[in-house]
């Protein structure tokens, strides 16, 4: 790994992505913040630079729900960053109501959380492979059965269940990347536990509705941790020199799970999801 590794963070305007960026710049990494809105990215970058003299921070605009935007952003990244030493996938859009159908025919949460990150990662794989760059998938430990006839939750749509399915897909893809690119592009899953930035003025707009919203509010009071609790161990993982030895692992903060994750280890389902996502991102990303 070069003296100043370049780490891309998808979902950088969220609390976990922002905390990871702060922790990485503290360790003298070059950080590239990825997000949909240039104004938010620039504001985050300015705050990071203001908090640490000499912080090396760049931004890259990408809308993960729009595959044309994803392809354009990947081309931009390949043109701007000769070395990519790691990619943090911390994309987790949760949207009330729905289903919300995009012009491209996909449901917005599934496109943003699953299809877009899958395509973007595949487009960067060759560059990541050159430096054995680490793929880190920020996951949630939710279990929600996939319906292969309604994978994007268009016909039977409950927002929280639909979101949970996207996070199950993230775990499956984390495991499948580890199997397909073993030791060439190490892939790990990272469970940040329940992290909230309680100072975020937009937080109240993202609560689930109904009973789920009540549960989340109680968890925010009694169980939520500040973002840096996740950002620090995430940064340590991204800069780990022994990354090949952690390929395919699940981490809960700084603790490696002693048992394989059952979802990540499901080879048949992981392969089936990968093949479906390849169909959804045609022409093939590689």
CB neighbourhood size of 154 (10 A): 16
The tens digit of pLDDT for each residue in 21-67 reads: 999 999 999 999 999 999 999 999 999 999 988 999 999 999 999 99
The tens digit of pLDDT for each residue in 134-178 reads: 999 999 888 899 999 999 999 999 998 999 999 999 999 999 999
The reply to whether CATH 3.40.50.720 applies to domain 6-196+226-280 is: yes
The tens digit of pLDDT for each residue in 174-209 reads: 999 999 999 899 999 999 987 766 566 665 666 666
* pTM, full prediction: 0.91
Cα separation, 81 vs 163, in Å, equals 32
pLDDT number for residue 221: 59
The answer to whether residue 270 scores a pLDDT higher than 60 is: yes
The tens digit of pLDDT for each residue in 117-132 reads: 999 999 999 999 999 9
pLDDT number for residue 31: 99
β pairing state of 255-256 and 86-89: unpaired
pLDDT number for residue 226: 83
The answer to whether residue 218 scores a pLDDT higher than 80 is: no
Q: Do residues 123 and 285 lie in contact, with contact meaning Cβ atoms separated by under 8 Å?
A: yes
Cα separation, 271 vs 55, in Å, equals 40
The answer to whether residue 284 scores a pLDDT higher than 90 is: no
Q: Do residues 152 and 204 lie in contact, with contact meaning Cβ atoms separated by under 8 Å?
A: no
pLDDT number for residue 185: 96
pLDDT number for residue 93: 93
């Amino acid at each position: 790994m070069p003296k100043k590794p370049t780490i891309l963070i998808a979902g950088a305007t969220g609390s976990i992505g922002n905390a990871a960026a702060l922790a990485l710049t503290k360790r003298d990494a070059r950080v590239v913040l990825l997000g949909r809105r240039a104004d938010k990215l620039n504001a985050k970058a300015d705050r990071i630079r203001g908090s640490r003299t000499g912080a090396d921070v760049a931004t890259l605009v990408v809308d993960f729900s729009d595959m044309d935007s994803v392809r354009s952003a990947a081309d931009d990244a390949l043109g701007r960053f000769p070395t990519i030493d790691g990619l943090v996938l911390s994309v987790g859009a949760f949207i009330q109501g729905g289903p919300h159908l995009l012009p491209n025919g996909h449901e917005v949460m599934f496109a943003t959380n699953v299809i877009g990150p899958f395509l973007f990662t595949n487009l960067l794989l060759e560059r990541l492979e050159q430096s054995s760059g680490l793929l880190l998938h920020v996951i949630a430990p939710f279990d929600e059965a996939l319906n292969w006839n309604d994978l994007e939750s268009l016909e039977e749509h409950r927002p929280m269940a639909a979101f949970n399915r996207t996070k199950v897909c993230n775990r499956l893809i984390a495991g499948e990347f580890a199997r397909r690119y073993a030791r060439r592009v190490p892939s790990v899953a990272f469970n940040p536990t329940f992290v909230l930035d309680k100072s975020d003025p937009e937080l109240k707009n993202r609560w689930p509705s109904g009973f789920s919203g009540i549960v989340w509010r109680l968890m925010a009071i009694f169980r939520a941790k500040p973002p840096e609790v996740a950002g620090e161990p995430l940064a340590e993982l991204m800069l780990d020199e022994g990354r090949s030895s952690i390929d395919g692992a699940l981490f809960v903060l700084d603790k490696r799970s002693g048992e394989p994750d059952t979802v990540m280890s499901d080879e048949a389902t992981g392969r089936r999801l990968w093949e479906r996502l390849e169909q959804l991102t045609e022409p093939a990303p590689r």
